[in-house]
Structures are given as C-alpha cells and as structure tokens.
Amino acid sequence: MTQSYRNIMMFAGMAALLALVGFGQGWDIALLLLNMCIISAIMALGVNIQWGYAGLFSIGSMGFAALGGLAGVIVSARPVPGAWQAGGLGVIGGIVATVLTVALGVYVWRRLADQGRRRYWGTGVVVLIGFFVIRGVMGPAIAAIEEVDPAAAGYLGGLGLPIILSWVVGGLFAAGVAWVVGKVSLGLRSDYLAIATLGISEIIIFILKFEDWLTRGVKNVTGLPRPVPYEVDLIASPAFQDWATSIGSNATAAASIVVKLCYAGLFSVVLLLVLYLSEIALRSPWGRMMRAIRDNETAAEAMGKDVKARHLQVFVLGSAVIGIAGAMLTTLDGQFTPTSYQPLRFTFLIWVMVIIGGSGNNWGAVLGGFVIWFFWIEAEPMGLWFIDLVSSGMAEDSSLRLHLIGSAAYMRLLTMGVVLLVVLRFAPRGLIPEVKR
Amino acid sequence: MTDLLNALVIIANFIIVPGLAYGSQLALGALGVTLVFGVLRFSNIAHGETMAAGAMFTMLFTWLLQSMGIGFGPLPTALLALPFGIGAAMVLCLATDRAVYGYYRRVRASPAIYIIVSVGVMFVYNGLIRFVVGPQDRVITDGQRFIMKARAFKQATGLNEGLAIKTTQAVSVGCAVLAVGLLFWFLNRTRTGKSMRAYSDNEDLALLSGINPERVVLITWLITAALATLAGTLYGLDKSFRPFVYMQLLLPIFAAAIVGGFGSPLGAIAGGFVIAFSELTVTFAYKRVLAYLLPDSMAPSTLVQLLSTDYKIAVSFAILVIVLLIKPTGLFGQRTA
C-alpha cells in the first residue's frame, strides 16, 4: 500500500467518523465538531510551520491564539464613544509612553553594552521611570473608562467593522507580537526557548484577563457580530421556511444546520488557502533552506544562510497562522473569554496534534488537528460507554461504579497522554510522515 | 518608635511570613526540577503534576489515618501520612521512568523530544489524578490552625497591628529546612550523592570512573518524588488541594529554578525565595506602612502598589523571561544556555 493511498484512506476514515457522529448524535453536533476540527487544523499548521519546518521549539501558541481572539473584539465589537471620551486620550498617551519606554530602554541597553553593571542599572532605572510615567498617564484614564456603563461596557469597545476582517488583523497582531518575542528569545537553546515562550504566552493571557479597558477582562465580551446569518432571522423568513419544508425538515433544525454549514464553508476556504500556501512554501527553495537549517544549523550557516533571520521569519509566519485561527475561534464562539485560554488546551493539545499527525508534513498536521480534536471531544461519551461496559457487573448503586461514571470526563486527558506517548515511542514520525525530498 | 514597630509588624504579617512559607514551597519544587535537569538533562513539564500526584497520595493516606482515628495533636495529620505519600509517589516516578523515559535515555533523544514526552506524562498524570479524586477543592489540613493569632499578638505587645502565623506556614518552613539539610548532607557527604553530582557535572568522566548511570537515575527519581510530594503537600496544606493549581505553579517553579541557575540545588533554593518575595513585594499595597512611617501631612492617599494583586503570578513569569533573556545561566549556574 503506497503512502498516498494510505493518506487518502485516513482522511476518508476521518470523514466517516464525523459522519458516524452525524448519524448517531445528530448533524448539529457533527458540524460543530467539524468547524472546531478545521480551526484546530489551522492552529496545528501554524505550529507545524515553526516546529516541523524549522525545528523551533516554541510552546507559546496559546498567547498567539488569544491575540487573534483580541483582534475579533477590537475589529467587530460595538464602539463605546463614552469610554473614548472618558479616557481615550489617556490610553493613547499610555501606549505612546510604553513604546517610548521600550525604545529608550533598548537604546540604553545597547549604548551601555560594554559597561558591566552600569548597563543593568541604567536600563533598570529607565524602565522603572517609564513604568511610573505610564501608570500616571494611564491609571486615571483606565479608571474613567471602567466607570462608563460597567454592566454592559466598561471598556473601549471595538471598531464595529465586519468580524471577518479580524481574521487578517488577528494574523497581523500575532505576527507583530511574535516579531518582538522572536527578536528577544530566539537565540535561546531549545528547552530554554520552550520555557520562555510558555512564560510569555502566560503573560499575554494575564494582560488580556486583567486589563479591563481593553477586553473587559473576566467579564468577557459577548454578542460579537457574525459573518453568517442568525438562526432567528432564517426561521422568520418565509422563503427559508418554504425551503425547509420542501426538503422535508422543520425550519428550526434546518436553520441551525445551515448556519453551521456557512461557518464550515468560510473556515474551509481559509484552511485550504493556508494549506496551499504552506505546501508551496515547503516545496520551494525556501522550504529546502528551512529544512537544511533545521537538520544542521552550522552547515547551513557555513553555506551563508542567515539562520537567525530565517528563524525569526518562520516564527512570525507560524504565529500569524495561529493568530488567524484564534480570530476564527472567537468568530465561531461569538464571544471572547480570556479565562478559557489554558495552556493544556491551546498549547499542549495543539502540539499533540502536530506530533501525532506527523511533524514536517502539512497534511499530517491537518489530519492530526481533525483526529485529536475529534477524540478530545468524543473521548467523554466513549469513555462513559467503556466504563459502563466494564462496570456493568457491579451493582447499579455501587459507589465505585458511580465514581467511575462521574470521572468519565477525565478520560480525554488520559487518552491524549497515552496516545501521545505511544505514537512518540512506536511511530515517532506520526500518521503521515514527512516526505523525504 | 511604636509607629516603626507597627509598620514592621505589617510587613512581617503580609510579606515576610507568607513569603517564607511560599518561598519554601517553591524552593522544594524547584529543587526537584533542577535535579531532573541536572542528572537526566531535560526540563520536566510534568513536575507540577508529580507534585499534585504526591499531594493526592498523601491526602488519601491522611483520610485513611483520620478514619482510623489517628491524629497528630496540634500538627496536621498529613505530616504523618507524608512518608506513605512519598512512597507511593516514588513508585509512580519509577514506573514512569521504566515505561517512558528509560527508552529515550537509551536512544539519547534531544531535549525537545524529552519535553514533548514529559507533556505526554503530564496529560496522563492529569487524567489519573482527576480520575481518582476529581477536580474539587479540598481542605486537607487539621489540628491547630494558628501558632500565633493576630489578636493574641496585639494583646501581648500592645501594638495596633497583629501578626498571625498559621501552623501550616511554620510547618512549611520547618519541613523545607529539614529536607534541604538532608538533601545537602546526602549530596555532599555520601558516596551515592557524590556520584550523582559527578554524573551531573560530567557524564563521560563519571561513566569512566565506574559510576552506574542507572543507579544514579534511580536515586534521582526517588529524591525528586520525595521533594515533589513534600512541596505539593505543603502547598496543599497551606492553601487547599486543587488539582489544577499545580499546573499554574509549574512556571513559578521553573522561574525559581532558572533564576538560581538551572541544575544548581543551592540556586533553586535562593530562586524560590527570590520569586516568592518578588511576587509579594511588587503586589503589596504599602499605604498602611507608609501611614505609620510618614508624618500625617505626607500620608499617601493612594494604595502605593506597584502592580495590582491580579498580576501576582505574572510577576514570576516576567522574572523568568527577563532572567532567560539577560542571564540564562542564572545567579548560581555555570551551565551555558
């Protein structure tokens, strides 16, 4: 059996699994699963660009996904003019002060390069003074903004533009932050880079969680506009009702499915586009150079390749893809909830997708995204069924049986761990191994 | 004079006492991370979950002891259960090493692969813990709650401000001192400890001089399990046992290990206290302290707080990132990054 035949069979198998859910649990659930699978696949493509192409060990995808989500808020949320009047100037001043502080800090740091301890003290003093200036400028403005209608707003709001624009903006946000992060941290050895990026992604989440003027923090931003029609509008329209009856369904059920199909269509376009671009990049001389750098940095450098610049480039590209997926996730949810960003879900699970799919292979990353998300969600019902089967010999009210059934939700963590360890040990190249070119 | 004493008591009550307790817990956690890094040469992402697992085992044995009516007087019963918890955690760590890490040692996997493997282990532990005890918040401390109550302190000294010391805080510091003393005695005085340090410093040379690597690895896992269980249990006693908290502790612990210099036990202890005290001093509101120290006319009207307490844990992340970027070898480390 050739590899390409196997690949087609695996994707067909994945489609069959989704169809099985459609027949078993309903098409509504199957389509929701499909939409999340597509988003996961795009995130996995982003991580694959960093790790699979270039061997960059960054475990900060959570931060970039959240920045994409932030773009969803800033682009599409309803503007809050009152808040802008109350503290807009102060916030802009604060942002300018932040940029100036960073620029001045970097300047002093570079200027005092060969001055020993004075370098640390000088930079430290500059940053500290800058910190107090920023606090002084922004503090009152933030307090004023949070005063404005705290129950519904209490933040600056967005621009009120179509949310689909945020997919581009989210990618740009993530790319911009990734440039800064990469610039300072990419020189680190692999495991130090991993810990640094993990820390930076947590800091990003902390800022999104507690800077209420920007994101409403833990109060969440809900009711973001959709790029697709609303179910209630569809149900109310007579034309849609007629159509639903003509295909032998009722309007309520049909509306929910049509909306999800619209999302699936939009998401598929992005997935195919990213996948296409990733594939041609991987096959191009640029992709060959990346693999050369990954496999032997010293040799690549000796051939005159600028390893540092290429690492930065690939880090920014991968992060941008993750940011796009993050914005799409916020679009699908229709809300931005900073507390939902957990490293387990947005960093480590994405890594599991890439490793199991096959690092270095874009199709593998996509398949990994689909398979892992599918089992992440379906492990619970499957675990419940399994536990029910195993414990069926016990009495109906046996406390052990009840405890086991109550714990079925945690089967997903266990399953993911075991699957990851087994694949790493026995098939370290993943479901669709990297193609040797 | 009284004003000065009152100010000092506030600082002792809100920074020094909690900082010592939290610092001890972080130091014990960081010691485990740093030992694994020094001897096994990888960053163990699963360490937070190892702590949670150890604390869980201790909790289960505590329940067993409590159900048998055994207590520890004014001290928490969990201290009696600790040896059993440590034993169970040792079995878990050795089983994991046998089933998982041993293979990657044989094939000499790269640090990145090791980290991904430890992510897998983290997922498995995570699931197992929730499978056994669920995700709930549980209070596992019993016995006397306070060594010194705020009101008793006020009455005894006649000061305005009170100083409270929880039993669990004193127990944390006491256990940490004891454990660190034992560890350093072991590393510096015993043959096995010396062979461990030799192996950590220079693997090839250690192998040449006939040190058995598998034995060194075994001992490392035993010590790591003991330290992780101790750290996890002390944190659980001091706050409460919540499985997900230990994952949030992972980064402060890595921060402590890296600030002190990854692979250096002494650095891990120093790092633990640096992180704990930075978190507390940066997010503490100094208003009341200054109100005592300054004349009334200059008393501050704001909270005089550098960062809001929301950012407490973020402080340790920031320190982690800054140290990694500026001085990756840490304060005490010799190893290059």
Q: How far apart are CA B317 and CA A263, in angstroms?
A: 37
Amino acid letter, residue B128: L
Q: How far apart are CA B245 and CA B48, in angstroms?
A: 9
Residue B258 lies in a domain: no
C-alpha angle A26-A28-A30 in degrees, rounded to nearest 5: 75
Half-sphere CA count of B4, side-chain side, radius 13 A: 1
How do beta strands B146-148 and B165-166 pair? antiparallel
Residue B277 lies in a domain: no
Q: Is B111 within 8 Å of A200 when comparing Cβ atoms?
A: no
Q: Give the model's pLDDT for residue A301.
A: 92
Q: Give the model's pLDDT for residue B333.
A: 60
Percent of chain B with pLDDT over 90: 58
Residues from chain B that touch A190, judged by Cβ atoms under 8 A, are: 110-112, 115
Q: What's the total number of domains in chain B?
A: 1
Q: Which of A37, A26, A52, A409 is nearest to A253 (CA)?
A: A26
What's the burial of A22, exposed, middle or buried (CB within 10 Å: 0-12/13-18/19+)?
middle
Q: Are B199 and B178 in contact (CB under 8 A)?
A: no
Q: Is B103 within 8 Å of A425 when comparing Cβ atoms?
A: yes
- Which SS3 state, helix, strand or coil, does residue A221 take? strand
Q: Give the model's pLDDT for residue B180.
A: 95
Residue B126 lies in a domain: yes
Using CB atoms, which residue from A185, A206, A416 is nearest to B311?
A: A206
Q: Are A149 and A86 in contact (CB under 8 A)?
A: no
Is B177 a residue whose pLDDT tops 90?
A: yes
Residues from chain A that touch B312, judged by Cβ atoms under 8 A, are: none
Residue B175 lies in a domain: yes
Buried b (16+ CB within 10 A) or exposed e, B59-68: bbbbbebbee
Q: What is the CATH number of the domain that holds B65?
A: 1.10.3470
Is B320 a residue whose pLDDT tops 50?
A: yes
Helix ranges, chain B (H) = 2-11, 17-35, 47-67, 78-96, 102-106, 111-133, 150-157, 167-189, 191-201, 203-208, 213-238, 245-260, 265-283, 287-293, 312-326
Q: How far apart are CA A48 and CA A351, in angstroms?
A: 9
Residue B305 lies in a domain: no
pLDDT band at B276 (very low <50, low <70, confident <90, very high): very high
Residue B162 lies in a domain: yes
Q: Is A189 an interface residue toward B (CB < 8 Å)?
A: yes
pLDDT band at B279 (very low <50, low <70, confident <90, very high): very high
Helix axes A362-390, A27-48, angle to 10 degrees: 130
Q: Are A47 and A319 in contact (CB under 8 A)?
A: no
Q: Record the tokens describing residue B283, joined without a space.
A: 């997010």
Q: Give the model's pLDDT for residue A81.
A: 87
Q: Is A121 an interface residue toward B (CB < 8 Å)?
A: no
From the CA of A210, how many Å to the nearest CA of chain B?
7
Residue B323 lies in a domain: no
Q: Is B107 an interface residue toward A (CB < 8 Å)?
A: no
The contacts of residue A158 (CB under 8 Å, 6+ apart) are: A73, A74, A75, A76, A77, A78, A79
The enclosing H or E element of A143 equals helix A117-147
Q: Is B251 within 8 Å of A198 when comparing Cβ atoms?
A: yes
Using CB atoms, which residue from B130, B251, B255 is nearest to A407?
A: B130
Residues from chain A that touch B324, judged by Cβ atoms under 8 A, are: 185, 188, 192, 195-196, 199
Q: Give the model's pLDDT for residue B117.
A: 95
How confident is chain A (437 residues) per 10-residue block, as mean pLDDT? 85 95 91 96 96 92 96 92 87 92 91 83 91 89 86 86 95 96 87 90 93 88 90 87 84 89 96 96 93 92 93 96 97 94 94 93 95 91 83 76 80 90 92 86
Mean pLDDT of B58-64: 95
Residue B138 lies in a domain: yes
Q: Record the tokens describing residue B150, joined without a space.
A: 């705020």
Domain housing B60: 2-248
Q: How far apart are the first and last CA of chain B?
A: 50
Beta bridge partners of B138: B241
CATH fold of the domain at A3-79+157-426 = ABC transporter involved in vitamin B12 uptake, BtuC (1.10.3470)
Neighbours of B215 (CB within 10 A): 13
Q: Give the model's pLDDT for residue A337.
A: 94
Q: Is B102 an interface residue toward A (CB < 8 Å)?
A: no
Taking CA–CA distances from A411, the nearest residue in chain B reads B127
Phi-psi region of A55 (alpha: psi -120 to 50; beta: other; left: phi over 0): left
With DSSP H G I counted as helix, E B as strand and the rest as coil, what are the percentages for chain A, rounded to 5? 80, 0, 20
- Which SS3 state, helix, strand or coil, does residue B295 take? coil
From the CA of A93, how many Å to the nearest CA of chain B?
19
Q: Across the A/B interface, how many CB contacts are shorter than 8 Å?
A: 138
List C-alpha distances in Å: A397 to A202, A404, A410, B131. Answer: 43, 12, 21, 19
Mean pLDDT of B212-230: 95
Q: Give the model's pLDDT for residue A1.
A: 58
The contacts of residue B206 (CB under 8 Å, 6+ apart) are: B195, B198, B199, B213, B216
